[in-house]
Amino acid sequence: VSYEVANLSKSLGQFASGKGLDDLAASVEAAKGIPELKKFIESGISEDVPKLITDLTTLAKTAASDVADTATGLATMIDGQESVIITDGTLADKED
Amino acid sequence: MPQLEEIFQRYTDALSKIILHKWAEDTERDEHGHWVGGGGGKPGGSGGTGGATTGGDRAARAKATHQVCDKAKRGIASASEVEVSKALGLARTEDNKPFDAKGNGVAVELKTIVSAKNDKITMHPESRKRKLAEAKKEKLRVYTVVVDKRGSTPAYYWAKGVGSFRLGGMNQAASLAALKKVVK
């Protein structure tokens, strides 16, 4: 599963492979002091993007290089958004 | 001349549909990556972040559009990805690599449908470009595999290429063993 991050209406692009997000989630669970990122990984939704970016930046400073790359890339993609969600490219409702 | 008026109305309606229709990069494609069906774009559809909304509204709107991947759904998808990668003899990729699994000249985009009502998977246009660029650079044979876990037993679908697909337009494999015979 290639995971994408989306705002209210559209995908902003892929930020992690399936294993990439598994690795990020494992690092987040092991870390402390990054509550918005923990919430985002748990629920798939963040409505406080500035805090989320701060947490991603914090994690990137101590995480393994692959995870740090994923965190940094995600922080760049969501900059300026109000709300973001994790999605896998499957759609919520019938379109037609 | 009511008949003439009716014909003119039909013509203008059809023309409007053509003009408003968007053949977007992320519309449904066949196994060759060509656009199929009526296209997926909606007039005035995607883009922007909408008007002023409260936090709860924003979350609800996002959920209405996308399948939100919480921890539980990701767990199911990860288990599915591990199972399929192993069955196909491919390694899962790390970080933000374009494909989910690779090996032996094959690259696979894996999707697991856990609870979506829709029988369609989509892909961001830039993501698709990245995948195709890597496939071209590394001369990879590219497949999309979908595991539908909404029933009592998983159903496996596959197609050549990457992009947006409807399950009805993909090939179904009876088992993981059968999938391995075609995704190679």
pLDDT band at A9; cut points 50, 70, 90: confident
ipTM over 0.85: yes
Say if residues B107 and A81 touch (Cβ distance below 8 Å): no
A85 or B66: whose pLDDT is higher?
A: A85
Nearest-CA distance A34 → chain B (Å): 17
> What does the pLDDT read at residue B117?
80
Nearest-CA distance A3 → chain B (Å): 9
> What does the pLDDT read at residue A93?
54
Percent of chain A with pLDDT over 90: 83
- What is the average pLDDT value for chain A, to the nearest integer? 92
CB proximity A92 to B under 8 Å: yes
Residue A68: closest CA among chain B residues belongs to which residue?
Answer: B95
CB proximity B150 to A under 8 Å: no
To test the contact with chain B by mutation, choose from A12, A19, A27 the residue with the greatest count of B C-beta atoms within 10 A, namely A19
Q: What is the pLDDT along chain B (184 residues), one digit of tens a residue?
A: 556 566 555 654 554 444 334 434 444 444 444 444 333 333 333 333 334 455 566 667 666 667 789 999 999 999 999 999 999 999 999 888 999 999 999 999 999 998 878 898 888 888 899 999 999 999 999 999 999 999 999 999 999 999 999 999 999 999 999 999 999 9
To test the contact with chain B by mutation, choose from A3, A4, A5, A9 the residue with the greatest count of B C-beta atoms within 10 A, namely A9
Chain B contacts of A18, Cβ < 8 Å? Answer: 77-78, 81, 92, 100, 110
Would you tell me how many other CB atoms lie within 10 Å of the CB of residue B154? 16
> B135-143 long-range CB contacts below 8 Å, 24 or more apart?
B135/B107, B138/B107, B139/B105, B140/B99, B140/B102, B140/B105, B140/B106, B140/B107, B141/B105, B141/B106, B141/B107, B141/B184, B142/B99, B142/B106, B142/B107, B142/B108, B142/B109, B143/B106, B143/B107, B143/B108, B143/B109, B143/B183
- pLDDT tens, residue by residue, A15-41: 999 999 999 999 999 999 999 999 999
The answer for B 97-126 residues in CB contact with A (under 8 A) is 97-100, 109-114, 116-118, 120-124, 126
Which sign, positive or negative, has the C-alpha torsion B129, B161, B152, B118?
Answer: positive
Closest partner CB to A18 (pick from B92, B123, B130): B92
**CA–CA gap between residue A21 and residue A67 (Å, rounded):** 8
> What does the pLDDT read at residue B6?
62
- pLDDT tens, residue by residue, A38-69: 999 999 999 999 999 999 999 999 999 999 99
**What are residue B68's DSSP bridge partners?**
A87
> What does the pLDDT read at residue B9?
57
> What does the pLDDT read at residue B42?
33
CB proximity B86 to A under 8 Å: no
> What does the pLDDT read at residue A47?
94
Closest partner CB to A14 (pick from B47, B67, B127): B127
